[in-house]
Every structure is written in C-alpha cells, then in structure tokens.
Structure 1
C-alpha cells in the first residue's frame, strides 16, 4: 500500500522502520514522522501494517507509507530495496526494530496484554521480579532459539546489507539497531567468548557465524550452560550480543555512516508479555534520540538511558 508522498530527493529525510506495526516500532514511526521525516513503516502482515498506517494517518501524519517486509525472507527484503530505490533513490535512516524473543510463551502475548491477571501479578514488582515472572511464563526450545538468531541477527544483518547502497547514497546515512541490555557481554560466563566478541578489531563476520553455530550446537546438546553461554533467555542474549558486535564491525567498515545500537529499556511489549516498566512511547523516545543525533557524531556505540554506555 503506497500513499501520496512527495518523491523529490530533497523533500525530507527518508526512514525505514522494521517491525513498525506495533509497540516500539509503531511509536518510532510516529515520533519520526512528527519530526518531519518521511517514514516507510514495514511489517510482515499486510492487514496489521495497513491498520498501523491508518492509525498514524488519523493523527495527521501524512508522510508515512507502508511496505511489506519479512526480515527472514530474502525476496521480501529485495522487494523493499527495489521499492526504496525506485521511489526515493536513497535512504537516510534505517531503524532495525523487528525482533523475536527466542523463547516459547506459556501464555500468548495477546492473552497477557492488559489482562487483569497479569496486572495483578505484576503489581508492586521491581525489574528483577518482573523478569523472573517473565521467565516463569516462557520456556527455551531449540526451534525458538534458532528462530531467535535467524530473526534478531541474520534477518537484521540481511536487511542492512540489502539497504547499504541506498544508505551510502544519503549525505548522512544512519543505522540504529534496537538492541538490549540483555546483549551486553557481562552475561557471557566464558571469558574467551566474551573477549572474542569484544575484540571487534579482530572479529570477522565469518567468525561470528561460527560462534552462533557453536551456540546452537551446544544448546541442542544441552551444553550451553556448561560452555559458559548466557543463562535464561540465552538465544535472545546471544543474538543481541552478535548484533552489537556486527554493528561495531560495520561502523569501522562504513566510516561515512553512523551505525549505533540502543537499549530502549524494559518495555511493555508483546516480547515481554507487557511486563516491562516503560511504555512503548518512552522506549521509542530512546531510539529516536539516537536516530536524530547531530550529523558527524559517534558511530559504533551503544546507548542506554539516552547516554553512550559500555558493550560489556
């Protein structure tokens, strides 16, 4: 579904938001559009994406267009790249927000969202207690772990690779990868793994692939804990750590672009079964702040609470 948007190259900055039909992604679209940026809202489901588009249009945000995108489907990514090239000829901001929790849920996100039971259970809980609640309502399986890596790391990486030519065509191209404090290296109990992922001067994309393969093998064999991989939400933590490392590698390889990661906070979204402490609007604000940093600023950095922070 395409809207009536100006296609003149100098009209405004062009942004793509993956997973833009709900939660943080939808709020990022709203806030970017509110800042005069032309937004391409993407989602896997056409009905949900179109509904999100209409929601934004009802707020008077006309410079928003919807395009289908499944970040785990190479042909879907290629169609988005072709659309952007034909329509705009460049891309100024890419926000990689689409994600998967890497676990199976004991209760569906739709069932938990806003339910009286969940609100009563979570009332008075601090962050750690809410995470414990979330953990009790999930279980780790090999299939979910594999899907987590395919989405959170490989899917995001393939989107970036396909859109790099368009980002380089911008005078101020930016990539913002929505990460998590769960991707910090402090969760790795194997010191060699931790050091290898941190030493991005030597780390290669090929080696990252080998490490992720090793994680899945260890996970399937029930050896992930013994090998020092992160415990609890392991696939999510490993996938986000890999994306953080890749972002730093990419930042060094693409010095004309700004490539940064941001932890939006512990947000009330489907991935957290709405157990978070912050609203999607607050989380999106942390993401948009990084996306709209002054030109020529930092690259290859991690942001938390609106400030540059450590990857460890």
Structure 2
C-alpha cells in the first residue's frame, strides 16, 4: 500500500484530498498542527468507513515539530511515496504590496513557502526510499505572474502577500524538480482553483471536494507523468 503525507489535512481541501486518496487505496497520514482537530478529522473519515488513515502532528512553521513528525513517521513506514505540501494561510487583509504590513508578509511566507521547503527537506530521505516518489506543492493561480499581468480581476489585488508566497512556492517547485530531473521523482505545483474554504471566507466557486480532485490527479502520477510543471485540473498553466 502506497503512503502519503498531507500537511494541513484536518480540514478543507487537505481533508478532502486525504479522503479521496484513502478511497483509492493509499495509506494517508493526515498532518495537523492541532492534535485534537486532527483526531476529529480521523474520526470523521472512520465514520465514513475509511480506516487506512492516521494522524501525524506537524506544525510546518516549527522545525522541531517537523523533525518530530518525521521521526514518528519513520516508526510507521519504511518509505513515503507522496508528500503533499498543502498547509497554507491567506494572511490578514488588506495586502496591497506598497503598504501592506511586513509582519503579515513574513507570517504568510513562513507557512506557505518556508513551511513547504523545510517540510520537504526533512522528508526527502523517506521519499527517496520510494520506487516512485511524488511531491505536490499546492499553489494557486494567484501565484502565476503571467496571469497577474494579463488580468484585471480585482480579487488579484487583494491578496498580494498570499500571491507572492505562492509565486515563491512555484519557484521552489521548479528548482526542486530540476535538482531531481534525472531521478524517478515527480514534482509539480497544482492549483485546486477558487475553492470555498476558510482561507477565503468560503467565497470560492467550487467545493473542497472538487478542488481536491486536481491534487489527487497529480499525486497519483505514474512513471510517465510530468515533472516541474504547474497544473490546474487537466491543463498546464503558465508560471
């Protein structure tokens, strides 16, 4: 049975991704910063008849928490097949880059960018033990510089800190994929689309279940799958 770790999996898109991957036969480790909320998520899945799940307590902004999570996972499995860097925050509004609070920008980057980087660095040794390791960095269209330059959508100007953090995450995807381009790693950025979650006060136009489908698609790539790309649903989108 293949194994997957999903950060920020106790709610929203992360939870739905966990559910769908578990239903596909993966053993899913739900990463949650809050242990009690993580256990509640596990119980919800078990109430649905899904038993191939377990909790991993992990705060992606705390390196000691990440190291402890890795140590715990090493007692449960010899290899990690899929890492989904899903944990993220929207940050406080407004975020106009000319006057937004620097501390807010730092806080958003701490979770959305540095959190993903240091989580990946810690778990890379377990991923290397997989026959077909996959990393999915959960990004956003707001991280696409091309889309920003070609849209007049007013929503794009509301989330400058968030957008910058996702652009940085996309850069991490490219650098990491290039580093492992001659290996069996598949490393991609994936946007679930404008999904109704607490990150956007549930204003998204699709459900978390719908948003999770794109992540699941690229988390289950085979050996012929793409790497170093940015995807939404079925299509590649510009950086």
Which consecutive unaligned segments of at least 5 residues does structure 1 have?
1-11, 106-134, 190-229
Question: CA offsets per residue over residues 140-181 of structure 1, 9 Å max, x none?
Answer: 433221100111000110000000011111000000010000
Q: Partners of 2:45 and 2:237 in 1: how far apart?
A: 32
Aligned residues of 1:102 and 1:149 also touching (Cα < 8 A):
no
Cα drift, residue 308 of structure 1: 1.8
Corresponding residue number in structure 1 for 2:20? 31
SS where residue 200 of structure 2 aligns? coil
Cα drift, residue 292 of structure 1: 1.1
Corresponding residue number in structure 2 for 1:155? 115
Cα drift, residue 232 of structure 1: 3.1
2:211 is equivalent to residue 291 of structure 1? no
Could you tell me which of 165, 168, 175 is aligned with 1:249? 175
Q: Partners of 1:296 and 1:160 in 2: how far apart?
A: 22
SS where residue 285 of structure 1 aligns? helix
Could you tell me which of 202, 208, 213 is aligned with 1:274? 202
Q: Partners of 2:189 and 2:147 in 1: how far apart?
A: 17
Structure 1's 22 and 140: CA in aligned 2 closer, same or farther, altered over 3 A? farther
SS where residue 66 of structure 1 aligns? strand
Corresponding residue number in structure 2 for 1:238? 164
What CA RMSD, in Å, does the superposition of the two structures yield over aligned residues? 1.7
Aligned residues of 2:56 and 2:73 also touching (Cα < 8 A):
no
Cα drift, residue 45 of structure 1: 0.6
Q: Partners of 2:160 and 2:147 in 1: how far apart?
A: 9
SS where residue 15 of structure 1 aligns? strand
Cα drift, residue 65 of structure 1: 0.2
Corresponding residue number in structure 1 for 2:9? 20
Could you tell me which of 114, 117, 134 is aligned with 1:174? 134
Aligned residues of 2:196 and 2:204 also touching (Cα < 8 A):
yes
Aligned residues of 1:84 and 1:90 also touching (Cα < 8 A):
no
Cα drift, residue 104 of structure 1: 4.2
Aligned residues of 1:44 and 1:69 also touching (Cα < 8 A):
yes
SS where residue 55 of structure 1 aligns? helix
Corresponding residue number in structure 2 for 1:40? 29
Corresponding residue number in structure 2 for 1:9? none
SS where residue 72 of structure 1 aligns? coil
Structure 1's 234 and 187: CA in aligned 2 closer, same or farther, altered over 3 A? farther
TM-score by length of 1: 0.70
SS where residue 303 of structure 1 aligns? strand
Q: Partners of 1:295 and 1:232 in 2: how far apart?
A: 39
Answer with 249-258 or 263-272: which moved more: 249-258
Q: Greater Rg, structure 1 or structure 2?
A: 1
